[in-house]
Amino acid sequence: MDTTSKKLAEDINRLKTARRALIVAHNYQRPEVQDVADFTGDSLELSRIAAQTDAEVIVFCGVNFMAETAKILSPAKTVIVPDPNAGCPLANMVTPRQLQEVKDRHPGAVVVCYVNSSAETKALSDICCTSANAVQVVKSIDRDSEIIFVPDKSLGDYVSRRSGRELILWNGYCPTHHRILPEDIEARRREHPEAVVIVHPECLRPVVDMADHVASTSGIVRLAKELDACEFIIGTEIGILHRLKKEAPGKEFYAASRLADCPNMKLNDLPKILWALEDMTNKVELAADLIERARAPIEKMVAIG
Ligand code: SF4
């Protein structure tokens, strides 16, 4: 950390204590944001940590749907975001009206909703899933039921193949993960022939099919620590490399593509965290009935384990 970042981090820590705040940062955040956070993890992990803490204020460094999920699980807490413009293009690829139209065309279908979605989308869904438990969630659904899977078609395709269930896929995708191409994996493998390839299931199908392991962000961190290999090619957003290097020192990590850099995730920085804490701005506000409706599919997911 340079001197300016160190000074900002000190000011943030002082204010954090005064405000009884907890700072959580998604695995894709800038290195200095991860370093100032109390916890780093995936979106649901962080929302659950936020719900368990006795902190009164949660500073959520991620994108908006993540902060909304934290608010849904901790309605009595103040959840603030460093930059309210940090949206997620994938989450924005489904609107409540569009989803209602598809539900109307498939009456009785079960809607499985990836956590990378707005509170409104969750509220229209039957059960949520993460990239770590999506296969398990889909397998838990009655075999006679039609299943609408929103919004990520790549994750949906992977889940369909792993679960053996036909899914009605939404035409959404993560632009950042789709920047990782099969030729990137080939090139990295030529450069590092001993490396183990781990990719996120939001990647394109040919990329998923080339990988040694397919895992969520927390799964990638776990595999990197547990596997005997010393070198890894990582096919997800490049912010995770910072956490991997910290938590698996002595191992080498290579980005499958340096283009997998989510501009929305990187909107948060130390000055914005400090401003948000100083002014207590950018609070996540959700109507009580929306919180209640969006919470139900999350709790259903948690109940299946
Ligand atoms: Fe959304 Fe993809 Fe960026 Fe995650 S990496 S916030 S899914 S656009």
Q: Parallel, antiparallel, or unpaired for β 196-199 and 21-26?
A: unpaired
pLDDT tens digits, residue range 43-101?
A: 889 988 999 999 999 999 999 999 999 999 999 999 999 999 999 999 999 999 999 99
Q: Please give the structure tokens belonging to residue 287.
A: 């109507």
Atom of ligand 1 nearest to the CA of 62: 6
Q: Are 124 and 96 in contact (CB under 8 A)?
A: yes
Residues found in the chain? 305
Q: How confident is the model at residue 271 (pLDDT cuts 50, 70, 90)?
A: very high
Q: How confident is the model at residue 305 (pLDDT cuts 50, 70, 90)?
A: low
Strand partners of residue 23: 59
Whose CA is closest to atom 7 on ligand 1? 174
Distance 227 CA to ligand 1 centre (A): 27
Distance 205 CA to ligand 1 centre (A): 17
Atom of ligand 1 nearest to the CA of 264: 3
Q: Please give the structure tokens belonging to residue 172.
A: 């959404």
pLDDT over 90 percentage in the chain: 95
Give the DSSP letter string of 224-252.
HHHSS-SEEEEES-TTHHHHHHHHSTT-E
Distance, CA of 86 to CA of 58 (rounded, Å): 16
Query: pTM for this structure?
Result: 0.96
Q: Which residues contact 190 (CB under 8 A, 6 or more apart)?
A: none
Distance 88 CA to ligand 1 centre (A): 5
Q: Where does the chain have alpha helices with state H?
A: 3-18, 31-36, 43-52, 64-73, 96-105, 119-123, 134-139, 153-163, 182-191, 205-210, 217-226, 240-247, 270-279, 288-303
Distance, CA of 275 to CA of 272 (rounded, Å): 5
| Helix/strand/coil percent split, the chain, to 5 | 45, 15, 35
pLDDT tens digits, residue range 102-157?
A: 999 999 999 999 999 999 999 999 999 999 999 999 999 999 999 999 999 999 99
Give SS3 for 162. Answer: helix
- Neighbouring CB atoms inside 10 A of 247's CB total 13
Distance 3 CA to ligand 1 centre (A): 30
Residues contacting ligand 1 via CB (< 6 Å): 28, 63, 88-90, 116, 174-177, 237, 262, 264-265
- Please give the domain boundaries of the chain with CATH numbers for all domains: 3-87+265-285 (3.40.50.10800), 91-173 (3.40.50.10800), 177-255 (3.40.50.10800)
Distance, CA of 140 to CA of 137 (rounded, Å): 5
Atom of ligand 1 nearest to the CA of 88: 1
Distance 17 CA to ligand 1 centre (A): 30
